[in-house]
Structure 1
Amino acid sequence: MKIDFEEIIRKLESKANTIYFDTDKLKQLLITAKEKAEGNKQLMEIWEDLKLIIDLVKDWIKGDYKELSKTSVIMIIISLLYLVNPLDLVPDFLPGGFIDDLAVIAYVVKKISDELKTYKQWRSINKTDETIEMKAEFVDDTADVEDIDDILNEDEDTDEEI
């Protein structure tokens, strides 16, 4: 089985661009992708990469991480759209049905590997700062801005399809 990655990108690029400009849809896509991947034995091979790109997009949405190109965000969205679509090249309900999803995510991770490396470095530096900030939040109860992680982890009932 040969996967035409460029064809997949062409087919999903328009939808990915729409989601790029709609934060609510992007948040819902992150939730759906994470839920689909959690505990899926076939996807364990790429679980760390998947968590990394989801965290990257979360930090980008929050405005904490700004060094992410639009092209990389679109590529990540495309990979997540492909993952959540049960009727892709190899339907997910078939044995081995996630092999194409694995390949698409691995392809995207490889394409944006330089930006992922930069993000990992940023995250390793800023996680220490984040811990200090979290301690300060417990002392300073004047902050009333809802954290994106809380929003992304809420159970949302929605009829809107991604």
Structure 2
Amino acid sequence: MNMFSKKKEEINEEYFKKGVAQVNDGDVDIAANSQKQAEDKIMNAGALRKYTEIGKLMFSMLNDFRNGSYTNIPWFTIASIAFTMLYVINPFDIMPDFIPGIGYVDDFAILTFSIRFMETDLHKYLDWKLDSNEE
């Protein structure tokens, strides 16, 4: 997977879209299987901690998509979740996580872009989840 080239690139909407466009089914499986690693990183990184619950929701949606119980979701949203989580767990992304003070800035940006692009789908999924729990 060549989504995270080592050259320095600007994190912007175009970078995010290019990365999402490269995601395939295998990447989705890798991302889904990396849930604990991503959740741990988000919870333990002060700058990312506010994304803990939304990260859990994203993984829940990804897993419900993979097991076939929730299919009313565009591929772009699934690919966005996979790209975002794979980016977050990659310690050698554009701004390596071990750099104090700025190591998580790029992770924060990717999470922010991801949420902005899939906000409507997250709301639809949450409504579906709430409705299915009432039955």
Give the TM-score normalised by the residue count of structure 1: 0.67
Please say if residues 46 and 106 of structure 1, whose CA atoms lie closer than 8 Å, have aligned partners that are also in contact.
no
Residues 1:37 and 2:42 are matched in the alignment? yes
Asked if residue 5 in structure 1 is aligned to residue 10 in structure 2, the reply is: no
Q: 2:19, 2:83 within 8 Å by CA — same for their partners in 1?
A: no
- 1:28 is the counterpart of 2:33: yes
What 5-or-longer segments of structure 2 have no aligned partner?
1-9
Coordinate RMSD, CA, aligned: 2.3
- Equivalence for 1:143: none
- Structure of larger gyration radius: 1
Q: Is the 8 A contact 2:32 2:82 kept in 1?
A: no
Following TM superposition, the consecutive aligned residue runs of length 4 or more in structure 1 with deviations greater than 6 angstroms are none
Q: Tell me, in whole angstroms, the C-alpha distance in 1 between the residues paired with 2:127 and 2:47.
A: 28
Partner of 1:72: 77
- The one-letter amino acid paired with 2:80 is M
Separation (CA, whole Å) in 2 of partners of 1:64 and 1:81: 23
Distance 1:119 1:94 in 2: 36
CA separation of 1:51 and 1:30: change in aligned 2, threshold 3 A: same
Amino acid at match of 1:5: E
How many residues align? The count is 126
Aligned to 2:104: 98
Question: In 2, are the aligned partners of 1:13 and 1:78 still within 8 Å (CA)?
Answer: no
Percent identity over paired residues: 23
d(CA) in 1 for partners of 2:95, 2:16: 13
Q: Tell me how far apart the structure 1 counterparts of residues 132 and 20 of structure 2 sit (CA, whole Å).
A: 33
- Structure 2 counterparts to residues 12-161 of structure 1, below 5 A: 13-14=21-22, 16-19=23-26, 23=29, 25-95=30-100, 96-129=102-135
Q: Which amino acid aligns with 2:65?
A: W
- Deviation, 1:36, is 2.4
Residues 8 and 117 of structure 1: is their aligned pair in 2 closer, same or farther, counting only changes over 3 Å?
closer
Asked if structure 2 preserves the Cα contact closer than 8 Å seen for 1:36 and 1:84, the reply is yes
Deviation at 1:27, TM superposition (A): 2.8
